[in-house]
Amino acid sequence: MGAQGFTVTAYVVRRVATGESDLVLSLFTRERGRLDAYARAGRKSRRRFQAGLSPCLLYQGLLVPARRGSLWSLEEMTVARPAQLLVTRPARMVAGQYASELARELCPPEVPEPEVFSVFDAFLVRLDRPPAPTWRDWIRFERDLLSAAGVAPELGCCVACRRAPPGDGWGFSVAAGGLLCPACGRGQSMPVWDPAWNGIESDVSDVSDVSDVSDVSDMSDLLGAWIFTVLNKKLHARGLCRSVFAGPTGW
């Protein structure tokens, strides 16, 4: 890395105002993972920073080493891919900003995470396209992002004896790391796993659309409990995102 800096393909996954017009940003980059940067006049300069450094937009940026401190200095950011539908629909932005928060929390600083970036980028592309996003889109995103980060629960078989496929009487155990069959889960108090959910998070053609599966929001809640355990914190944006998917929303 030379003094001239380097370019990145990035999303703004967090922004904090500081001073009169500056910003401290967390950038999720394809090349170098999560980077924290300082954008001087980031709230004011539209020539150097297009679209106001908005979340959920893919940018190309130039970073240089800071003169002091640990933050990179962000010199410019240009929009690499517009997202007109996403940024003009509040419900889609809620989903996109939750996705940004989850990706930010799963990724350590300055560690390249190309698989996580790919899953995150694909979900934001989906949010920018018709038709309306479904529960299946959201569940698959969370499952794929957790898998890319190496912290996904086991949903395809019993985590203890590897029996498959999941059926009646199975439960989901956060402590065990996923699903437990009736024999391995005997005596344990666990949320029930509905066999109708099998394969919802996978990309297979013979699984019905998740919007047709009863109580699929309960499956989302199981993933929410898992994410809370992995991160050891509650993501408030997830509750907003769940409300968007559960309610009559104008996507």
Q: What pLDDT score was predicted for residue 202? A: 65
Helix orientation angle between 135-148 and 90-106, rounded to the nearest 10 degrees: 20
- Where the chain has pLDDT below 70, the residues are 1-3, 67-68, 201-214
CA 70 – CA 215 distance, rounded (Å): 47
pLDDT digits (tens, 9 = 90+) for 83-106: 999 999 999 999 999 999 999 999
CA 70 – CA 180 distance, rounded (Å): 45
Beta strand pairing status for 6-18 and 22-29?
Answer: antiparallel
Q: Sign (positive/negative) of CA torsion 9, 126, 23, 236?
A: negative
CA 39 – CA 53 distance, rounded (Å): 10
Helix ranges restricted to H, the chain: 84-88, 90-106, 114-127, 135-148, 216-231, 236-246
Q: What angle do CA 100, 105, 106 make, to 5 degrees?
A: 100
CA 186 – CA 2 distance, rounded (Å): 59
Helix orientation angle between 114-127 and 90-106, rounded to the nearest 10 degrees: 170
Separation in Å, CA 85 to CA 90, 139, 168, 238: 10, 21, 41, 21
R_g (Cα) of the chain, nearest Å: 20
- Asked whether the beta carbons of 46 and 119 are under 8 A apart, the reply is no
Q: What pLDDT score was predicted for residue 206? A: 43
pTM: 0.92
The residues, any chain, with a CB within 8 Å of residue 168's CB and separated by 6 or more, are 195
Set out the domains of the chain in order of their start, with CATH numbers: 6-82 (2.40.50.140), 85-155+199-246 (no CATH)
- Identify the three-state secondary structure at position 196: helix
Separation in Å, CA 220 to CA 81, 137, 139, 210: 30, 11, 7, 11
Closest CA to 193 of 179, 208, 214, 213: 179
Q: What pLDDT score was predicted for residue 207? A: 44
Q: What pLDDT score was predicted for residue 210? A: 47
